[in-house]
Chain A
């Protein structure tokens, strides 16, 4: 079983749609969770951290369910510029080094 699993997609949605991505992780001791965005042939960039209480940043909402070891990302009112690969990322290392485990990524294509 992969340590971090995501549906690779692609998700093809029209502009303005709401889309949700899911992610599961295997290590119940994981403490920190993130969503990164990666554009084609570019480096990953932090989109948002994911907190137990859930958090929102504009059109983006992240949720964490520790009991189910499940993380989600909701994008409302999709824009063409949201087209990218979204990486679910979990920290599994010691607090000193912050080792990250990346999911394969979910590809989103927003169409006019």
Chain B
């Protein structure tokens, strides 16, 4: 059974129309991450939560926001998607103090 679940698997949105991607986990891990991966590129960390503490990467655009209402769920909000935001968005989790991360299957976002 999947332990890190992302919904939807595919998302199509219009230029400038806000979109929310969802991630849930059954592992009870403290840390949740959001990555952006474009074609033939490495996954790029956008931000992560350690429990309720939000940690933004310095180069993450303000257009990207996140919410973590409880341990199990984390959301990625893109306030005004641009064409350049089309990518695979990966959610991952880890236990505090552990380095191994477990990934969800990803949400592939298209922007029209």
Determine whether B34 belongs to the interface, using a CB cutoff of 8 Å to chain A. no
Residues of A66-111 at the interface with B, using a CB-CB cut-off of 8 Å, are 87, 91, 95-100, 102-105
Q: Chain B residues near A41 (CB, 8 Å)? A: 88, 108
Q: A102 touching B42 by the CB < 8 A rule?
A: yes
Q: How far is the CB of B37 from chain A (nearest CB, A)?
A: 9
Determine whether A45 belongs to the interface, using a CB cutoff of 8 Å to chain B. yes
Known: A42-B105, A44-B90. A97 touches B43 (CB 8 A): no
Determine whether B58 belongs to the interface, using a CB cutoff of 8 Å to chain A. no
Number of A residues with CB within 8 Å of any CB on chain B: 23
Q: Chain B residues near A57 (CB, 8 Å)? A: none
Q: Chain B residues near A46 (CB, 8 Å)? A: 100-102
Determine whether B60 belongs to the interface, using a CB cutoff of 8 Å to chain A. no
Q: Chain B residues near A87 (CB, 8 Å)? A: 42-43
